[in-house]
Chain A
Amino acid sequence: MATSHAHDSAHGAAVEHHDHKPYGLTRWLFTTNHKDIGTLYLTFACIMFFVGGAMALAIRAELWKPGLQIFDPTTFNALTTNHALIMIFGAVMPAWVGFANWMIPMQIGSPDMALPRMNNYSFWILPFAFVLLLSTWLVPGGAPAGGWTLYPPLSLQGGDGLPMTIFAIHLMGASSIMGAINVIVTIMNMRAPGITLLKMPLFVWTWLITAYLLIAVMPVLAGAVTMLLTDHFFGTSFFSAAGGGDPVMFQHIFWFFGHPEVYILILPAFGIISEIIPTFSRKPLFGYESMVYATASIAFLSFIVWAHHMFTVGMPLAGQLFFMLSTMLIAVPTGVKVFNWRTTMYKGSLSFETPMLFALAFLFLFTIGGFSGLMLAIVPADFQYQDTYFVVAHFHYVLVPGSIFAIMAGVYYWIPKWTGHMYNEKLGKWHFWLSAIFVNVLFFPQHFLGLAGMPRRIPDYSTQFTDWNMVSSFGGFCFGFSQILFVIVIWQCVRGGQKAPARAWESAHGLEWELASPAPYHTWETAPDMSTIARGAQH
């Protein structure tokens, strides 16, 4: 297998010299190393995935059959609210920042992130934010229970948990903005000579665009929740009609953040899938430039579609038409991406290792989520779908077999580079098949429930919804417990296993595969030379 001879001969001694890293707790507390911080982010995301997942199972347990068996309705609402906040801000977003930390410097030939100290801060803010959020369960008034969207006036009815939640969101936002600044500065300034923007791997491209989205909208969210805070404690009336305000204005501001947020959660997934499908098709990505332009178009459109989350608030006819048409337009660049991925496989030489299996499942199931998204864009039909389980099914299809499967695909793909070991392919495949089957048993029936008339966010339901809720809960438990396999595979791979070559996948391209496996503690201290870049070029 091709190892990085040029690199080894040039820097072998230097790598050994610099590989002394601090040990113990201080290594992790004070680290400014992008790989350590990447590991911290990914570990944190994994823990939060299981915390949020436990809440999801609690929800599915209550919904197993009609009647209230386990929770009172307020606790149930708190579970749905916290499940969403934790999965979005605690699991998916930190996982993406973890990937960005590990992979972007290695993929663009940079020795580290541009702002390493801030990198450390942006991670270490997160545990505090989530301790604060989770401790709302212990205070008078309990955890936030007005939905993760925090719509006033309902969210303002919360007890002491409200200001804690708002402050936690501020911390998460600050962390995200710092991470995004770091990504942008790194990509703009730290690329090795010869790596022009249109030579960057697609994962780097999608993250660059994601980082701009984050900087644009996280302050908007911070502003919205701060107005909630002043409405509650300082007598303002931003969102209270009695004081001349407007509760719907919160929804406009929130979704101006919320819709780009949706793409923050999925664009890095597009990047990872665009790395994996070419590798296991043994063929460069089809239509690289149109992929970049499609990503940028999606990012632009994400700013002008927000009100499709709130068609039922009573908008003028022109407003409804504008948001319907702009939303439908998103199907065009998204379609371009799906067609490009598909055509990458065409005339390829495909093999089906675990990363590829997850990428293919992403392709099928994310597309299903896209279809239901298109249906939801049709305003009159949305009047029936809005706030039902059809919506729940839609966004879980794009987030679970979408974002989460892409995260898993990325972990299986790059873990040989991270640990220097191949993971257990047999267990990986078991993990894939259990996840792929049960994620559908879990979420597909929710389409039926929504169409048949079951509203979302209810702890108890009318008896005609029992059958599909049972199927969904069964799928949920099987899917949830299957994820333990994921941890086992990762743990085994960290501890040992078959030695991974530098180029862990025979047809993998990209500068990260020019480095030894495991990647040395410090990499690309000298920028890669032209021949290395050419060998690593993706297209």
Chain B
Amino acid sequence: MLNKRFLSRDLFRRGAIAAAVLLGLTGPAFAGWDGLNMTKGVTELSAKIYDLHMLVLWVCVGIAVIVFGAMIFAMVRFRKSKGAVADTSFVHSTKFEIAWTLAPVLILIIMAVPATKTIVIIEDTRNSELTIKATAYQWKWQYDYIDSGVNFFSTLAESSNFARQKGSGIDPNTVENYLLEVDHHLVIPVDTKVRLLLTANDVIHAWWVPAFGLKKDAIPGFVNEMWIKAKETGTFRGQCAELCGRDHGFMPIVVDVVSKDDFARWVETHKPAIEAVPDAPASATNS
């Protein structure tokens, strides 16, 4: 018995040391907070979503500190090996049980209120200034600017496509934006409420650019909508986020957010060329 107890304590200590060593080894090897946490993004919505995420995260951390702290206290304080004797009469307390039912309800309300407000804003697609229809295919995206008639396909960039083949011999680390680059970027103007209509031609896909905060399914036979209002110019990358078959991992989304003037110029240069081939089939546009 005595022997067993020693062994148990010894193993505890060994386990703790191993865990500490592992954390120490992996910790510093990695880049900062960016690689660990959700992005704040570049839209009003993505910032709100980030704030909600951090609120819930910190609430959870707070609860964890209390609950885990209490458990660790019990594990340290009430050890049989330290001579603890069980108080077998302490098996029920209406007071405690009501308290730990009501306290979580209050905490949940604190989180539910801002979450509800945010959903209401997310769902308000009125007053958009530009509408783009995105159609998903296995495995590419087609973008159709409803107002100006600009229409094109967007597929995985060749450099990534070569490197991703099995046995290609190309090190993905040498490819710029590996798997996150396409031949034709989606271009949208800054500070403009852009409504995105989503549908699909074959199976269900999902359109997701983390910097814009939202993700929505593209479903064959149905049209979903979401809106983006980017506050900064730049290039933002995302991926299909619903398993859609063999090349699900290889149909990225790249969006250029440009100034309103640049956008107007871009539309002008792209309108005629594309209009020459209305209803262009996939192969024609891609070749």
Contact = CB atoms under 8 A, between A and B. Distances in A.
Contact of B203 (A145, A154, A336): A154
Contact of B78 (A66, A346, A429): A346
A468 B248 CA distance: 21
Contacts of B210: 384, 453
A539 interface: yes
B79 A350 contact: yes
Contacts of B123: 317, 320
A146 B245 contact: yes
A248 B206 CA distance: 13
Main secondary structure of the interface of A (DSSP, over half): helix
Nearest to A151: B204
B214 interface: yes
A352 B8 contact: yes
Given A347-B86, A448-B36, A321 B26 contact: no
Contacts of B178: 66, 462-463
B29 interface: yes
Nearest to A331: B104
B60 to A, nearest CB: 4
Nearest to A71: B166
Contacts of A328: 108, 111-112
A73 B48 contact: no
Interface size of A as a range: 35 or more
A160 interface: no
B187 interface: no
Contact of A73 (B38, B75, B208, B249): B249
A242 interface: yes
A433 B15 contact: yes
A240 B164 CA distance: 33
B213 interface: yes
B280 interface: no
B78 A383 contact: no
B171 to A, nearest CB: 7
Interface in B185-200: none
B52 A381 contact: yes
A352 B224 CA distance: 54
Contacts of B115: 324, 378-381
Contacts of B165: 68
B30 A467 contact: yes
B243 A154 contact: yes
A461 B160 CA distance: 11
22 contacts: A66-B173, A73-B249, A77-B248, A154-B204, A157-B245, A287-B91, A331-B108, A335-B104, A336-B101, A339-B67, A346-B70, A347-B86, A349-B86, A351-B81, A378-B56, A380-B122, A381-B49, A386-B215, A387-B243, A455-B208, A455-B240, A462-B180
Q: Top 7 closest A-B pairs, CB basis?
A: A241-B221, A458-B249, A371-B60, A314-B224, A347-B87, A66-B172, A345-B74
Interface of B: 4-5, 7-8, 11-12, 14-15, 18-19, 22, 26, 29-30, 34-39, 45, 48-49, 52-53, 56-57, 60, 63-64, 67-68, 70-71, 74-75, 78-81, 84-88, 90-93, 96-97, 100-101, 104-105, 108, 111-112, 115-116, 118-120, 122-123, 163-166, 168, 170-173, 177-180, 202-204, 206, 208, 210, 213-217, 219-222, 224-225, 238-250
Given A153-B204, A283-B87, A463-B173, 4 more contacts: A154-B244, A346-B78, A347-B86, A430-B11
